[in-house]
Structure 1
């Protein structure tokens, strides 16, 4: 599999429009971006391509990275920065198989798959298929599995993509409190893409602080929805990932840390 990181940022991206913080200025100087989250996977045997999450930056991502338009897509949850790019397939693809969890979310009264069907009912190109957590399905000639993670108040899922012995794992948007069954399935990946939205120090500015503290009192969860860098790296160690890149990264890291080796930027590619 060839993996291209189309979008590695959070909801505002880096640089953030209108922001002149040191990190955004450093990104401009370096000529790098973290647009809204999306990952592109190419099946190097069949040539088929899989999109994981449909970023609002869909058009610019595909133009910038020069990867083929997707044959199939997986949507992890219904927050706009992971879903609202789906409308971009209009007049760009003839057909797109979209896979999403079919379990009903108590918060919305419908599943992720049903939300997609409702919002994009006008897209004749899109065929939505419900997937059950922990049950592997085939998409773009690859084995794909959704696993529940922890991103309240909505249901959200991590994603595992396998091709023979090769394994890509994504935590999805989550706190450090990933359920044990999901951890078991995410373990031993050749490449892990882990939500590391903020540094642990940012928890000082959240109304409820941080959670899931390590033995030294460092929070591994920021607030209620995302991991800190500490949480993401600790989870990667526990999952015994061969390689780890932190994604869904905000501009709230200090400029001296924001572009460290473990912090992904758009356009990175990996062979898995």
Structure 2
């Protein structure tokens, strides 16, 4: 199982368009230490000599079957696939309907002949549709796309992998994390999805013991003081593990990794609000990192 992090940023990415904050400037013109760390992690150095975090997407290739699974369709789909030179997906999964995880699906027009897209079948009270129904209705014009509804906690097969969707906590919409397992090799990838630290025990059980965990950690905990709702899910020392109500802090992501007994953890869905001196430190991911599980 080869995992390529196509996009590791939040809804605006880093650098953010029109932003000249220290972090965005450091991404455009990084210090040598940041570049060295990026090279060590296998991250992509841009044509301009910088690093970046485009909107979230993960590519998982099954070397045994020579099939590729795409998790979420970033609006930066075209850039990501050209940059990383990975195969187009044979099948795909969509975790939720926020634009930074879905709106790249339109890029499949004239690129693929037949693409099965898996998505959860639970009806969302906010939209009165499931994720699967929303994808099917919003992209009705893509004849080559076939949407297959999947029930959370019920494993299904795709690209030679066994995948299980699990509900996570990302109000007000329903959102899902997932586990991807290779039944032949035993390799396991877990994604937290966009979520607070408040995952159910049932979801945690499915995600547990991964070789690699990709955990949402949008900002460091000390920035919770700037959120209108502050931070939630505090640990015993009062450190918030959730930024507001929708995303984990860096500290929450690391706590979840410990809870799940993850062998290796990369923090993703990262905002440019990280101070520049923290934004490129371990274990925060950068685009282009690859992992062989």
Instruction: Give TM-score scaled by structure 1 length.
Output: 0.99
Residue 252 of structure 1 is matched in structure 2 by 273
**CA-based RMSD:** 0.6
Task: Answer yes or no: is 1:210 the counterpart of 2:231.
Answer: yes
Structure 2 residue aligned with 1:96: 115
Matches within 5 A, 1:79-158: 79-158=98-177
Tell me how far apart the structure 1 counterparts of residues 137 and 245 of structure 2 sit (CA, whole Å).
28
Alignment partner of 2:62 out of 14, 32, 43: 43
What aligned pairs does 1:1-272 form with structure 2 within 5 A after superposition? Answer: 1-30=1-30, 31-164=50-183, 165-272=186-293
CA distance in 2, matches of 1:26, 1:139: 39
Runs of 5+ consecutive residues of structure 2 not aligned to the other structure: 31-49
Q: For 1:20 and 1:212, how far apart are their aligned partners in 2?
A: 32
Shift of 1:261: 1.6
TM-fit CA distance, 1:39: 0.0
Aligned residues: 272
Aligned mates of 1:58, 1:253 — CA distance in 2 = 24
User: Counterparts of 1:17 and 1:109 in 2: how far apart (Å)?
Assistant: 34
Post-superposition shift, 1:224?
1.0
Post-superposition offset of 1:202? 1.3
Distance in 1 separating the partners of 2:270 and 2:180: 22
| Cα deviation, residue 29, structure 1 | 1.2
Alignment partners' CA distance in 2, 1:159 and 1:208:
28
Q: 2:276 is paired with a residue of what secondary structure? A: coil
How far, CA to CA, are the matches of 2:105 and 2:27 in structure 1? 27
After the TM superposition, list the runs of 4 or more consecutive aligned residues in structure 1 that deviate by more than 2 angstroms. Answer: none
- Of residues 169-178 and 139-148 in structure 1, the stretch that sits farther from structure 2 once superposed is 139-148
TM-score, length of structure 2 as denominator length: 0.92
Q: Deviations over 1:66-101 (max 9, x none)?
A: 000000000000000000000000001111100000
Give the distance between the partners of 1:268 and 1:88, measured in 2 at CA: 23
The CA deviation at 1:184 is: 0.6
- The residue that corresponds to 2:33 in the other structure is none
Q: Residue 178 of structure 1: CA displacement?
A: 0.6
User: Partners of 2:218 and 2:90 in 1: how far apart?
Assistant: 29
Separation (CA, whole Å) in 2 of partners of 1:29 and 1:264: 17
Offset, 1:140: 1.3
1:141 CA drift (Å): 1.5
d(CA) in 2 for partners of 1:132, 1:208:
32
